[in-house]
Amino acid sequence: NALLERKGDRTLLLTTRGFRDALRIGYQNRPQLFARHIVLPELLYERVAEVNERVSAYGDVIIPFDPAGAHEALSNAYQAGIRAVAIVFLHGYRYPAHEEQAAVLAREIGFTQISVSHQVSPLMKLVGRGDTTVVDAYLSPILRRYVDQVASELGNARLLFMQSHGGLADAHHFHGKDSILSGPAGGIVGAARTAAQAGFDRIITFDMGGTSTDVAHYAGEYERAFETQVAGVRLRAPMLHIHTVAAGGGSICRFDGSRLRVGPESAGADPGPACYRRGGPLTVTDCNVLLGRIQSEFFPHVFGPAQNQPLDRDIVTRQFAALAIEVQNATGKTYAPAELAEGFLQIAVENMANAIKQISTQRGYDVTEYTLCCFGGAGGQHACAVADALGMPAIFIHPFAGVLSAYGMGLADARLLKERAIEAPLTGELMASLESVFVELEQAGRNDMQAQDIPAEQIHAVRTVRLRYTGSDTALSVNASDAEELQAGFESAHRQRYGFVMPDKRLIVEALSVEVIGGGDASLPLAGEAFGERVGRADLLPGCRIPGPAILSESGATTFIASGWQAEVTAHNALVLTRCQPRPARVAVGTEVDPILLEVFNN
C-alpha cells in the first residue's frame, strides 16, 4: 500500500556522476502505445546526488571514488531531514568496492536505512537494479516501524513474515523489496501444500477477492519472476509468478450504451456493493446475491446505520430492474434482471479464464491436465464456471479457502535466495569453476538461516542456473548440473515455453541462484471445531457427495456447485468437485447484436 500510495520514507539516490536521470529515463517502454498523453510514474526518491567514481564493465577503475564529494552530498541530504539512502553505482553488482565505501560514509553520518545495490539486487542492468534498491530504501523504514510495533505487543513470541518469493523470514531479516506481493504469495504456498496433501501435484491457483483475482501455475515447483513491474516501478527481485486481473467481488457492473462491462473499477469496501446498504453500485457480488448464490442469512449482519442489518437484496433487485429498462431503451432487447446478472457473471468469468490462459496455455502448459485450486472469499462462487470455460476436469477447495492466504503462511518454510551474476558462455570448464561460487552462496544462506534460530539439520539448499541464448534477454531457470544436462534442460524448457530451440546458438549463464530452505514439517494434522449453529459444510462428513446445483455456505466463503458438477468431501474435509455430466455443446451465435456477447468477444 505504501508503494501504491507513494507513502514511503524520504529517500536519497546516490549514483555515479552522469547517470542521475537513468532511473527516470528508464527503458522508454510504452505500455499504451497510442496514448497521446503519457503520464510518467511518480519517482520514489526525493533527491539525487552524483559522486565522482566509475568502474568499467571489466573491473577497471576509470575514476577513483571521491569520498569528500560523497560525504558532502550525504551530509546535505541528512541535514535536509532525509534518513534513507539508495546507493547505486554503475557496474556495482560485480565490483562493489565503491558502493561499500559510500555505505560506510552514510553509516558514519547517521542514515538509518542504507540500501546498497550489490546487496539488494546483485544482478546486471542498472535500471532494474537501481529501482529495486530505491524501493528497498523507500519501504524498509516503514516495515521496520511496523515490525517493531507488532513485536513489542507480542512479547517473546517469534515473529515471521511472508516474502514475495514464497518463503518466511525472521522479522529482523525482512526487507522492503521482498514485501510487495507477500499476501498473494501466502495463498500460493497454502494452495500448493494443501493440494499436494489431497493428491494433486498440478494445480492452477485461483484467488478471487473483492477487487481482483490472482492466478498462478504450480507443478511441483514455485514459478518465480526475476524481473517485474509493480505500481510503475521495475523490480529485479525474485517473486512468485502471479498474474492479476481486475475482476473481483467488488468489480462494478455497468452498461455503457452498447454493451455490458465488468470492472476494472471496484466499489471497494466503502461504499461497497449495492447490497451493503451504503449506496454503492451494482457489482459481481450483487449478481450473486440476486441469483441466490449468496444468501443473507449466512452472511454477517454488519450493514446499515447501526451495522446490524443483513445484505439488502431488495435494492439489488430494484437496481437490476432499472438497468434492464436502460438496456431495453438503448438496444431494443428485453432482459429479465436475472439474465443481466448471469450476463455480467459470464463476462467476469471470461476475464478470469483469460488470465489463467496467460499463465498456462500461453506458457506451454495444457490446462486440461491441471486441477483448479480455488480460494479467496469469492473463489468458490465462480469455480465451476471458470473450470468449464477452460475445460478443466476437477476443482479443489480447502475448508479454509476463505482465509487460505493467511493459512498458507503457517504452512510455509523459511526461505532465502542468494544470487550472483555471471554473464559468461556455458562450458564444462565454467561450471567446474563456478562450484566455489555455489558453495559460497550456499554457506552465506545457511549462516543467515541459522541466525534466524533454525537448526542446521533442518536446512537444505537448491541450486539453479539461469540460462539464455546469446543475443536474448529471456532467461530460464534450470536445476544446476553439468554443462550437457544444463543445455538439455534449457532446451526442453525453451521448447515447452516457446515451441522451438536454436541448437546453433551459444548459451549464456546469466546468473546462479541458491535457495536455502529451513523449517520443520508443515504437514500437521488438521483439527477443527464448529461453533454455534452447525450449517452448511460443518455438517458434511468425509465421503459425502453433493450433486449440483447446490450452495455450501460457511463462515469464510460460499461454494456454488453448478448443475452437472458433483462435490465430494475428502478425508481432510476439503471439497473436490468433478464433472458428472458432459459439458453442454456450444450454441451457434446469431447475427443479432447482443450487449452481453459483445463484451465477451471483446475480451
For residue 509, what pLDDT is reported?
A: 94
Beta 160-162 vs 168-170: how paired, if at all? antiparallel
Mean pLDDT, range 196-212, rounded to an integer: 89
Q: How far apart are CA 217 and CA 241, in angstroms?
A: 8
**Per-residue model confidence as pLDDT tens digits over 387-426:** 999 999 999 999 888 889 889 988 888 888 899 989 999 9
Spatial distance between the Cα atoms of 220 and 200, rounded to a whole number of angstroms = 10
Residue predicted with more confidence, 41 or 216: 216
pLDDT band at 84 (very low <50, low <70, confident <90, very high): very high
> Does residue 82 contact residue 116 with C-beta atoms inside 8 Å?
no
Confidence band for 576, pLDDT divided at 50, 70 and 90: very high
pLDDT for 172 equals: 80
Residue 458 vs residue 14, higher pLDDT: 14
- In 3D space, the residue among 9, 418, 45 whose CA is nearest the CA of residue 176 turns out to be 9
SS3 for 450? helix
d(CA 52, CA 67): 9
Q: What does the pLDDT average to over 575-587?
A: 78
List C-alpha distances in Å: 13 to 113, 137, 186, 222, 228: 12, 9, 32, 33, 21
Task: Give percent of the chain above pLDDT 90.
Answer: 43
Contact 580, 566 (CB under 8 A): yes
User: Which pLDDT belongs to residue 586?
Assistant: 55
pLDDT at 148: 85
The segment with the largest mean pLDDT, out of 427-436, 535-544, 551-560, is 427-436
Say if CB 226 and CB 464 are below 8 A apart: no
The set of residues, in sequence order, having a beta carbon less than 8 Å from that of 132 and lying 6+ positions away, is: 117, 120, 121, 177, 234, 235, 236, 237
Name which of 291, 295, 296, 249 is nearest 268 in CA terms.
249
Asked if pLDDT for residue 262 goes beyond 60, the answer is yes
Residue-wise pLDDT tens digits, 439-449? 999 999 999 88
β-pairing verdict for 371-375 and 203-208:
parallel
pLDDT top residue among 42 and 117? 117
> In the prediction, which pLDDT does 443 show?
93
Which pLDDT belongs to residue 521? 52
What's the number of CA atoms in the CB half-sphere (13 Å) around residue 278? Answer: 13
Q: Which of 20-34, 229-243, 408-422 has the highest mean pLDDT?
A: 408-422
Q: Give the dihedral sign, CA 28/34/38/40.
A: negative
Q: Sheet holding 11-16: strands in order across?
A: 47-51, 11-16, 84-88, 113-116
Mean pLDDT of 566-581: 88
- For position 533, what pLDDT does the model report? 39
pLDDT of residue 577 exceeding 70: yes
Per-chain mean pLDDT for the chain? 86
The span from the CA of 342 to the CA of 336, in Å, is 10
pLDDT at position 323 over 80:
yes
Angstrom CA distances, 116 to 12, 88, 103, 147, 226, stand at 12, 7, 7, 21, 18
Give the whole-angstrom CA distance, residue 557 versus residue 69: 59
Higher pLDDT, 87 or 161: 87
Residue 519 Ramachandran class (φ > 0 left, ψ -120 to 50 alpha, else beta): left
Residue 168 pLDDT > 80 = yes
Which of these CATH numbers, 3.40.50, 1.20.1440, 3.30.1490, 3.40.630, describes 413-518?
3.30.1490
537 band by pLDDT with thresholds 50, 70 and 90:
low
**Interstrand relation of 84-88 and 11-16 (parallel, antiparallel or unpaired):** parallel
Res. 66: pLDDT tops 90: yes
- For 48, the enclosing helix (H) or strand (E) is strand 47-51
pLDDT band at 530 (very low <50, low <70, confident <90, very high): very low
Query: Which tens digit of pLDDT belongs to each residue from 508-525?
Result: 999 999 999 987 554 444
Place of cell 514459478: 223
User: What pLDDT is recorded for position 585?
Assistant: 62
CA 436 to chain centre: 33
**pLDDT confidence tier of residue 597, bands split at 50, 70 and 90:** low
In this prediction, residue 99 carries a pLDDT of: 94
C-alpha cell belonging to residue 22: 537513468
Q: Domain ranges in the chain?
A: 2-151, 413-518
- Kindly give, in sequence order, each residue whose CB lies less than 8 Å from that of residue 336, ignoring residues fewer than 6 positions away: 324
Q: Dump pLDDT digits (tens) for 465-496.
A: 999 999 888 899 999 888 899 999 999 999 98
Res 593 pLDDT > 60: no
Lowest mean pLDDT among 36-40, 427-431, 447-451, 585-589: 585-589
Q: What is the pLDDT of residue 524?
A: 43
Beta-sheet strands, E only, within 295-392: 371-375
Which long-range contacts link 265-268 to residues 24+ away (Cβ below 8 Å)? Answer: 266/210, 266/211, 266/212, 268/210, 268/211
CA distance 598 to 591: 11
Distance (Å, rounded) from C-alpha 194 to C-alpha 215? Answer: 16
- 47-51, 339-343, 491-495, 540-544, range with the lowest pLDDT: 540-544
Q: How far is it, in rounded angstroms, from Cα 174 to Cα 26?
A: 27
